[in-house]
Chains A and B, each alone.
Chain A
Amino acid sequence: MVQIKGSTRRKLVGFLILLPTLVSLGVFVYVFIGWTVGVSFSNWNSFSKLIKGEYIFTGLRNYMRLFEDPRFQTDLWNTLFFTLFFIAGCLSLGIILAVLIDKGLKGSRVFQSIFLFPMAISFVVTGTVWSWIFAPGILPKFPQGMNLLFKLMGLQALQWRWYTSTTSILHFNLALIPVIIAAIWQLSGYTMAMYLAGLRGIDQALIEAAKVDGATDRQIFWRIKFPILRPITLSAMIILGHISLKIFDLVYSMTGSGPNNVTDVPAIYMFETTFRANRYATGSAIAIIMLVMVAVVIVPYLVTSIKKEV
């Protein structure tokens, strides 16, 4: 680059402009994370110990106890299955919706707006509404919500206890299904939007050329469009994954931890240990485990996408 007069000065001023942001995020992200790590290594598991401020280093003891704790084990299984089904659901529904919209039929824009609007709504609202839709009622006599709808349609066989079910298959608590459906409802429009942006970014000349060569629509989708969408799938997986690893508001407003913690997640457990039981050290340990899970997903993604740009 040609050296422009005054550019060194500008670099300095530029850095000074960034400084307040760097300092505040440095404190609120990095220092505070370090602080939480410190608390997670401490004995601060009651309010009085915190007030005394007497810091006793307990090493990994809080973490060890968590991994032996049945409730936390349930949380980890729930997080795993929630993430798996939530991502799979959002991706498949997202791509189907995007392909349907991309056909450009009359009214497509209206449909697109309908599929996207849940994104504008708070998880708390989503949880409130879906908690009613999936409330089981008293079966079989007084069904509620979906169960009532099934009864009206003569589909009694489909009635079940939804998020109050305590059935579990290979550690997968079926009570999570209604929560996963609500989460997919909220975020599949997002994946649709990402896929649509990808589909619309494809060079039409490429498609035309393939058509001239006699490719069918199906071939065009699987051979041309689908491979182009692959990086979008990866981005979507990472974004949805980090949302699901820390999901809180939806579960809190919809089911809470549920009977036998069937719908419990680390964020709920963290909230209850820290703010209901004043067990700050344990709560901090849960928070740090959540951070590590998110970082494993996000850091490689951030590093590669920034490198690519430079």
Chain B
Amino acid sequence: MSRASKIITYILLLIFTVFFLMPIYVLISTSLKSLQEVGLEKMWFLPLKPSFDGFVKAFQKLSPNLKNSFILVIPATIISAMVGSINGYVLSKIKFRGASFLFTLILFGMFIPYQSVLFPVIRFLQSINLYGSIWGLVVLHVIYGLPITTLIFRNYYAEVPTELIEAAHIDGAGIFKAYWKVLFPISLPGFVVVIIWQFTNIWNEFLFAVTVTSDPTKQPVTVALVNLAGSKVVEWNVQMAGALLTALPTLLVYIILGKYFLKGLLAGSVKG
């Protein structure tokens, strides 16, 4: 590549980088300002005297909700991953008639606007006394997470040679044993992808969270963040610190497990 085109490429990449990092700059610099320094005319400048007041206040307000989000995300992620894994095994390795039709029916659940089930969902949760609780949200995220976890595992297991499974069957192993002894031990990369996907999506979800939980102490952090912004005096430093705290867990997952995050992202586009 010629020198000139290299330079142009770098310049373009840097321009786009500015666009992509601008909100992060605003987030970090604002969250480190004291309330006196947040004033509008100084919005684009770095904090003169960095202060953690914003973070302290945001953490005080959001920590119960951060905890709620973890209580929601961890079981929902694990259960939907486990069920998705065994589903993926059945759909990729046991060919029975109508399997691809059933699979299409399952996948459709991934794309529906949740608005179209929201009213019944709430009535249902009310009837089983889970409305307004984190556990109600766990149920929802497990069920509506099944299409994507099944899809990712189905594609993952499709790469595993069928002979391996058949050999296990010839040795007399049933489905569960074949899954447990042959597939499960080599499933770690699949689980990592699915867990990242579910963790991020459930953590970031808002519609179910805001409609199913109305008690502020029971809401996940995404809802609490929006309510933080709705308060009378807008303390931008607190709000930006809150946004950063809300984003932090998924950002860490992205930074630490970037490669798998990408795989999950691409798996989400059906063809994998």
Within 8 A of B (CB), among A58-112: 93, 96-97, 100-101, 103, 105, 107, 111
CB pair A242 B146 closer than 8 Å = no
Stretch at the interface among A161-169, A204-212, A219-227, A302-310: A302-310
Instruction: Name the residue of chain A whose CB is nearest to the CB of B254.
Output: A120
Main SS at interface, chain B: helix
**Contact yes or no, B112 A117, CB < 8 A:** no
Instruction: Determine the chain A residues whose CB is within 8 A of the CB of B133 once the complex forms.
Output: none
Residue total for B at the interface (Cβ-Cβ under 8 A): 90
Contact with B along A144-158 (1 / 0, CB 8 A): 110011001000000
- Measured between beta carbons, the chain A residues less than 8 angstroms from B119 are 35-36, 39, 274, 280, 283-284, 287
Most buried by B among A128, A193, A246, A298: A128
CB-defined contacts of A30 to chain B, threshold 8 Å? 105
Chain A CB within 8 A of B188 CB: no
Q: Collect the chain B residues with CB atoms within 8 Å of residue A120's CB.
A: 200, 247, 250-251, 253-254, 261
Q: How far is the CB of A160 from chain B (nearest CB, A)?
A: 17
User: Hey, which chain A residues are within 8 Å of B95, CB to CB?
Assistant: 1
**How many residues belonging to A are interface residues under a CB distance threshold of 8 Å?**
103
Whether the pair B115, A270 counts as a contact (CB closer than 8 A) is: yes
Task: Judge whether B87 and A17 touch: CB under 8 Å.
Answer: yes
How far is A271 from B115 in the complex, measured between Cα atoms in Å? 8
Q: Which residues of A contact B115 (CB under 8 A)?
A: 246, 248, 267, 270-271, 283, 286-287, 290-291
Contact of B143 among A1, A28, A267 (CB under 8 A): A28
Establish whether residues A21 and B146, one from each chain, have CB atoms under 8 Å apart when the complex forms. Answer: yes
Closest A residue by C-beta to B196: A120
Over the window 22-40 of chain A, the binary record of Cβ atoms lying under 8 Å from chain B Cβ atoms (1 yes, 0 no) is: 1011101111110110010
Residues from chain A with a CB closer than 8 A to the CB of B109 are: 25, 28-29
Please measure, in the bound complex, the distance between the C-alpha atom of A246 and the C-alpha atom of B110, giving whole angstroms: 13
**A301, B174: Cβ atoms closer than 8 Å:** no
Chain B residues contacting A115 (CB-CB under 8 Å) are: 16, 20
> What residues on B are CB-neighbors of A31 within 8 Å?
120
CA of A245 to CA of B102 in the docked complex: distance in angstroms? 25
User: With A4-B169, A298-B108, A306-B104 in contact, do A25 and B147 touch (Cβ < 8 Å)?
Assistant: yes
19 CB contacts below 8 A, A to B, read: A1-B95, A17-B90, A22-B105, A24-B143, A32-B117, A35-B119, A113-B258, A122-B205, A124-B204, A128-B226, A144-B43, A190-B265, A246-B113, A252-B206, A275-B211, A287-B113, A291-B112, A294-B113, A309-B100
- Interface residues, chain A, with chain B CB atoms under 8 Å away: 1, 4, 6-7, 10-11, 13-15, 17-18, 20-22, 24-26, 28-33, 35-36, 39, 93, 96-97, 100-101, 103, 105, 107, 111, 113-126, 128-133, 137, 142, 144-145, 148-149, 152, 185, 189-190, 193-194, 197, 235-236, 239, 242, 245-246, 248-249, 252-253, 267, 270-271, 274-275, 280, 283-284, 286-288, 290-291, 294-295, 298-299, 301-303, 305-307, 309-310
